[in-house]
Amino acid sequence: MSSETKQILTTDGIPLEISLKKAERKNKIKAFLLVAPLLLFLIITYIFPIGEMFTRSIDDKMITNMLPKTFKSMETWDGKELPSEEVFTSFLSDFKILVEKKEHGKLAQRLNKEKNGFNTITKKLFRQVKRNKIDETQSIKEQIMKVHKRWRNVEYWQAIKRTAPPYTSAKYLKAMDMYLNEDNKITQVSEDRRIHRILWLRTVEVAFFVTVFCFLMGYPIAHLLATLPMKYSNLLMICVLLPFWTSLLVRTASWMILLQQQGVVNDFFVLIGLVSDDNRPEMMYNKVGTYVAMTQILLPFMVLPLYSVMKTISPSLMRAGKSLGGTPFVAFWKVYFPLTIPGIGAGCLLVFILAIGYYITPALVGGASGTLISNQIAYHMKTTLDWSFASAMGLMLLGGVLVIYWLYNKLVGVDNIKLG
């Protein structure tokens, strides 16, 4: 080959290949420096918090650090009979350190979460330790077992052993209405306490139908926008974008005014005789309100990608379809519609992902039957302060979105998305 036998040199004698690579490397570094601020921003504001959320959701290190000796000595325990003297001794020494640091309350709280009843017996043990009632020269096992009969129950020691690993999946199981039972098996909570699964299903259901409604309403609007003459389409575009320029709260509040039982819509229904005055339908504080308000709020996210795709479709294609003998419907279905699929994909994905994590609107108009998983997350963030549980649910939501994205990629192909 000629390129191998004769190397091309630059004027200063360096092979051209090498000096080209050098020049390109410089360009690459420059390009990287240009995007570096954004990358840094993303790492700080996105990747780092999500990583933090993840560790928080599975973190169970607190108790691991509280009882280091206990867990060490428990490693050899088979968990069937009561543990040996050694375990009791190390537990007591761990406990004394906690008492000194005044952290025994935290331990009680954590253990009580694992199994009810720990609160009382930990307090009793604390009193004994405080009064120096425990004689270290004698069998510590015997003395602790005398403090309370539960200390003689192997189930409580099993519970302590379960808390040993520094990481736990308990929060994720809880979000699915499940927990790890005594035998380390995943079990469902009793039927009357299964609230999260309903919320998850409802969230997916609401997001799905909101997406469908947005599509059904947005498609004709986008088509009209793309085909009307400029002066009308600009006006219509402003109408579509107007909700964007209004505060989300204001829009939601205005829906509350419209939809309440003495509200405008109900008044109108009574006026035209659709319903009787004393039988006004409830359209708010339930799913109906959530559907109506969310569809209106998310509609622009459907219209804009559709519009940008439709704008590029030449009107002569529909004409060609008709002149070749297709009825208007055939021309639409075989020619126009397939060409809008990238826009449909983008719009649906966008609306679905936004809807699945929607918070303010369902909180205000949703009522009890219209709240979604995001409201539950907010509740745990603000009210119960169980941040690790909120983190776990947030991550599950994120995972769900990623799964949908992956599915979409399999079905339609991400490179088919057109956002504008």
Partner 1 sequence: MSKNTEFVKFDKVDKSYDGKVLVVKDLNLNISEGEFITMLGPSGSGKTTCLMMLAGFETPTNGEIYLDSNPISNIPPHKRGIGMVFQNYALFPHMTVYENLAFPLRVRKVQKDEIDKKVDKALSMVSLSGFESRMPAQLSGGQQQRVAVARALVFDPAVVLMDEPLGALDKNLRESMQYEIKHIHENIGVTVVYVTHDQGEALTMSNRIAVFNDGKVQQLSSPDKLYEEPVNSFVAEFIGENNTFGGEVTDISKDVCKVKLQNGEILANPVSVNSKGDKTTVSIRPERALINPKDKMDNNQTGKIEEVIYHGDHTRVRLDLLGNKEFILKVPNSSNQLDLKLGNEIKVGWNSQDARALDPK
Footprint of partner 1 (CB under 8 A): 314, 316-317, 319-328, 330-331, 334-335, 338-339
Shortest Cβ 415–partner 1 spacing (Å): 14
Choose between 55 and 312: whose C-beta lies nearer to partner 1.
Answer: 312
Query: Closest by alpha carbon to 218, among 287, 314, 307, 291?
Result: 307
Residue found by looking up tokens 């409802």 in the block: 202
Residue 331 Cβ, how far from partner 1 at the closest point, in Å? 8
Please state the closest distance from residue 307 (CB atom) to partner 1, in A: 19
Based on CB atoms, which residue is closest to partner 1, 42 or 317?
317
Q: Which is nearer to partner 1, 108 or 344 (CB)?
A: 344
Instruction: Please state the closest distance from residue 336 (CB atom) to partner 1, in A.
Output: 10
The nearest distance, CB 351 to partner 1, in angstroms, is: 24
**Nearer to partner 1 (CB atom), residue 197 or residue 322:** 322
- Is the Cβ of residue 343 or residue 366 nearer to partner 1 in the bound state? 343
Q: What minimum distance in Å lies between the beta carbon of 325 and partner 1?
A: 5
Q: Which is nearer to partner 1, 332 or 359 (CB)?
A: 332
Q: Smallest distance, Å, CB 223 to partner 1?
A: 17
- Which is closer to partner 1, CB of 230 or CB of 368? 230
